[in-house]
Structure 1
Amino acid sequence: MLLIQASRDAILKPLTTVVGIVERRNTLPILANVLIRKQGNQVAFLANDLEVQITTQADFGVGDDVQSTTVAARKFLDILRALPDTGDVRLSLDDAKLSVQARRSRFALQTLSANDYPTVSQAEQWTASFSMPQKALKQLFNQVHFSMAQQDIRYYLNGLLMVLEPGQVRAVSTDGHRLAHSSIAVEGLEAQMDAIIPRKTVHEMQRLLADDESPVQIDLAAGQIRFRFDQIELVSKLVEGKFPDYKRVIPTGYTRHIQIPRDALQASLQRAAILTTDKLKGVRLQLGDNLLRISSSNAEQEEAREELEVDYAQEPLDVAFNVTYLLDVLANIKTEAVCWSVQPDVNASVLITVPDDDEFKYVVMPMRI
Structure 2
Amino acid sequence: MKVSCTKENLIHGLQVVSHIASKNITLPVLNNVLLKAHDGALEVSATNLELAVITKIRGKVEEEGAFTVQAKLLTDFVSLLPDERVDFELQEQSIRVHAKNSQTIIKGTEASEFPLIPTVEKKYEYICLAADIRAGISQVAFAVSADESRPDINGALFSVHNKELTLVGTDSYRLAERKVPLQAAGGDHDVIVPSKTLYEVLRIMGDEQGDVVITVGENQMVFTFGSTTLISRTIEGRFPDYTQIIPKSHKTHVRASAAECAQAIRTASLFCKSGVNDVTLQFIPDKKELAISALNNQLGENTTVVHAKITGQNNDAVFNYRYLLDGLSAMNTEEVELTIEDRDSPGVIRPADGVSYIYVVMPIKQ
The normalised TM-score by structure 2 is 0.91
1:310 and 2:305 correspond: no
Aligned-partner residue type, residue 205 of structure 2: L
Aligned-partner residue type, residue 203 of structure 2: R
- 1:25 and 1:313 map into 2 onto residues whose CA distance is 57
- 2:111 and 2:264 map into 1 onto residues whose CA distance is 54
Aligned equivalent of 1:321: 319
RMSD of aligned residue pairs (Cα, Å): 2.3
State which of 278, 281, 291 in structure 2 corresponds to 1:293.
Answer: 291
State which of 134, 140, 151 in structure 1 corresponds to 2:136.
Answer: 140
1:138-287 → structure 2 map (5 Å cutoff): 138-209=134-205, 211=207, 213-276=209-272, 279-287=275-283
Aligned equivalent of 2:23: 24
Change (3 A) 1:278 1:59: farther
Change (3 A) 1:37 1:298: farther
Change (3 A) 1:6 1:339: same
Aligned equivalent of 1:50: 49
Change (3 A) 1:9 1:127: same
For residues 337-357 of structure 1, give each alpha carbon's deviation from its aligned partner in whole angstroms, at most 9, with x where no partner exists. 1100012x3211101112243
**Contact 1:48–1:119, Cα closer than 8 Å, also in 2:** no
- 2:298 and 2:103 map into 1 onto residues whose CA distance is 58
**Contact 1:50–1:119, Cα closer than 8 Å, also in 2:** no
Shift of 1:245: 0.2
Secondary structure (helix, strand or coil) at the match of 2:363 reads coil
**Contact 1:134–1:210, Cα closer than 8 Å, also in 2:** no
The normalised TM-score by structure 1 is 0.90
Shift of 1:197: 0.6
Secondary structure (helix, strand or coil) at the match of 2:310 reads coil
Q: What runs of 5+ residues in structure 1 fail to find an aligned partner?
A: none
Secondary structure (helix, strand or coil) at the match of 1:74 reads helix
Aligned equivalent of 2:68: 70
Secondary structure (helix, strand or coil) at the match of 2:244 reads helix
102-111 vs 301-310, which moves further: 102-111
- 1:37 and 1:198 map into 2 onto residues whose CA distance is 28
Secondary structure (helix, strand or coil) at the match of 1:80 reads helix
Aligned equivalent of 1:352: 349
Residue correspondences, number: 364
1:109 and 2:106 correspond: yes
1:80-95 → structure 2 map (5 Å cutoff): 80-81=78-79, 83-95=80-92
Change (3 A) 1:121 1:368: same
Aligned equivalent of 1:79: 77
96-105 vs 26-35, which moves further: 96-105
Secondary structure (helix, strand or coil) at the match of 1:312 reads strand
Q: What runs of 5+ residues in structure 2 fail to find an aligned partner?
A: none
- 1:99 and 1:133 map into 2 onto residues whose CA distance is 41
- 2:298 and 2:95 map into 1 onto residues whose CA distance is 58
Shift of 1:155: 1.0
**Contact 2:253–2:311, Cα closer than 8 Å, also in 1:** no
**Contact 2:348–2:361, Cα closer than 8 Å, also in 1:** yes
Change (3 A) 1:304 1:34: farther
**Contact 1:146–1:329, Cα closer than 8 Å, also in 2:** no
- 1:300 and 1:26 map into 2 onto residues whose CA distance is 49
218-227 vs 3-12, which moves further: 3-12
Aligned-partner residue type, residue 94 of structure 1: Q
Shift of 1:58: 1.3
Q: Share of identical aligned residues, percent?
A: 26
**Contact 2:169–2:177, Cα closer than 8 Å, also in 1:** yes
1:6 and 2:2 correspond: no
Aligned-partner residue type, residue 122 of structure 1: T
Change (3 A) 1:333 1:43: same
Change (3 A) 1:305 1:8: farther
For residues 19-51 of structure 1, give each alpha carbon's deviation from its aligned partner in whole angstroms, at most 9, with x where no partner exists. 222223454211111111112641100111111
334-343 vs 100-109, which moves further: 100-109
For residues 274-322 of structure 1, give each alpha carbon's deviation from its aligned partner in whole angstroms, at most 9, with x where no partner exists. 4457733222222224222222355742434322112337544332211
Secondary structure (helix, strand or coil) at the match of 2:21 reads coil
- 2:251 and 2:219 map into 1 onto residues whose CA distance is 41
- 1:12 and 1:274 map into 2 onto residues whose CA distance is 44
